Amino acid sequence: MRKKHIIIIVLVAFLAGYGLLATNESGNLYQLLKNFNYVLKLVQENYVQELNPSDLVRSAIRGMLSKLDPHSVYLTQRDYRELRIHTTGKYGGLGFVVGRVKDVITVISPFEGTPAYRAGLQPGDRIIKIDEIPTAGMGVDEAVSKMRGTPGTSVNLTIEREGVEGLIDFHLVREIIELKNVQYFGLINPDIGYIRVSGFSEGVGAEVRVAIDSLLAQGVKKLILDLRTNPGGLLEQAVEVADNFLPSGKLIVSTKGRVAKSNRDYYSTHESKTQGFPLVILVNKASASASEIVAGAIQDWDIGLVVGDTTFGKGSVQTVIPIEGNEAVKLTTARYYIPSGRCIDISDTTQFLLKNPTIGKKFNSLGGLNREFVSNGSIVPDTVLESEKTLPIITEIQRNGLFMQYTSKWVREHPKVQKGFEISPQMLQDFKAFIKNKGMKFTDSEFDSATKSIKQIIKSMIAQDKWGAKGQYEVLLSEDPWIQFSSKLLSKARSDKDLFKLVGVK
């Protein structure tokens, strides 16, 4: 138990170093730490079965952090490694999204230009073996860890493909995979550009600049920035993205915490190349954190119109603090405030210590329109659109991976399909028969009620299989009601001021 005594002594010294023991409660805290050490010893020596004391201590740390707020967490080696991948946007691997479909490790989508894509892996491929190790009973995390590795090393996959007899073997060599934050940018029509940002890992600010420059070169005079279902990421990258749209010298976000080093103001440093452009920002309930910083700064400075659904409401800053053993603590150290002074954060104040001090207060925009906002802990769009609900039959088809299985098989059987194809009534009947043969139970009325969504999904997934992400987005954007609404609005506006007038802001 000597090692555990050392842990407690180090913990006490750490707390004392931060002044947490220099209170009237210090004696009680010393006693509680002593009690913790004693209980750990009791459990280790007397519990009905042998336990790993390291796991017990980690569980205790997790329990302590869980009492703070939803975002303060303990990161194991694997968690910490995954976090670094998400923040840097790079890892050594094969280049595809994998999931578990009906208890089978399954390829969801390969990334263009990666080893998986070049080798011909397809959505819906079921991975049966990894380096001759069967994947039956294997979790997604374990499968991913076996396929990732040092660039230049190889991995063998054995897959099962819908409509193909026998198993197919792939020999792949790992490479550095760079995840793109800007998944797509292009033209909605000759003067309206579209940029889709899916995350805020390193480099997204530069990616957005490249997209803007490319669209401007094509004659774009109006923009849609799509931040829907974007969970956020790095604070500094949110600042860089916002800097692309704001005039120089404008406050983008402020962070305020208990210690002085957490207090900082972030300003735009470049003149926007899109100044005066009619600009629409799309957000929804899953737009969070860095997405809310960008949308909030643009809204507060009256630069663009925020359209969609009320955002998630994650307005706190987490600092990742490495600890011994390649593990880390992600600790909430500050809140962020958008330029008007609003804190965009919703916390369960009955359970967690973090509370939003701006809830219920009124704030005004700073760009000249003097719009009034009542802080509710999220970004409320200037124009609210209703999100379409996913029907149960759609969820069940997706859960079983049947869209992927059908579309990958269909593309192989129709190699000459051209862009602009439509989903025929016969294809719908074929798909209906296909999912029935796969064991799905549903009524004709359930299927008929979902026909519109089924056609859209099948069409977009065929386009992805055949022409990659670009082809898929071209299909999705042509049928997206929020894009259609935004495009109609933008087509009537010649300037940013016109855009606000169109929705009743004078």
- Which positions are annotated as active-site residues? 289, 300, 314
Q: Which of 102, 159, 185 lies closest to 408 in space, CA to CA? A: 159
Please give the full DSSP string across 401-460, using - where no structure is assigned: THHHHHHHHHHHH-TT--TT----HHHHHHHHHHHHHTT----HHHHHHTHHHHHHHHHH
Count the Cβ atoms, other than its own, within 10 Å of residue 373.
Answer: 20
Nearest-angstrom CA–CA distance, 29 and 272:
54
Nearest-angstrom CA–CA distance, 398 and 400:
5
3-class state of residue 366 by DSSP? coil
Count the Cβ atoms, other than its own, within 10 Å of residue 306.
Answer: 23
Q: Which long-range contacts (CB under 8 A, 24 or more apart) does 40-44 make?
A: 40/4, 41/1, 41/4, 44/1
Residues 243 and 252 sit within 8 Å (Cβ to Cβ): yes
Count the Cβ atoms, other than its own, within 10 Å of residue 189.
Answer: 12
Return left, alpha or beta for 73; rule: phi > 0 is left, psi -120 to 50 is alpha, else beta. Answer: beta
The encoded tokens of residue 464 equal 């992805």
Q: Are strands 327-337 and 251-257 parallel, antiparallel or unpaired?
A: antiparallel
Nearest-angstrom CA–CA distance, 241 and 272:
11
Q: Which of 306, 294, 183, 184 lies closest to 245 in space, CA to CA? A: 294
**Residue recorded with tokens 């894009």:** 483
Q: Which residues pair with 182 in a beta bridge?
A: 197
Q: Give burial (CB, 10 Å; 0-12/13-18/19+) of 132.
A: exposed
What is the length of the chain?
Answer: 506
Residues 334 and 345 sit within 8 Å (Cβ to Cβ): no
The encoded tokens of residue 435 equal 């999912």
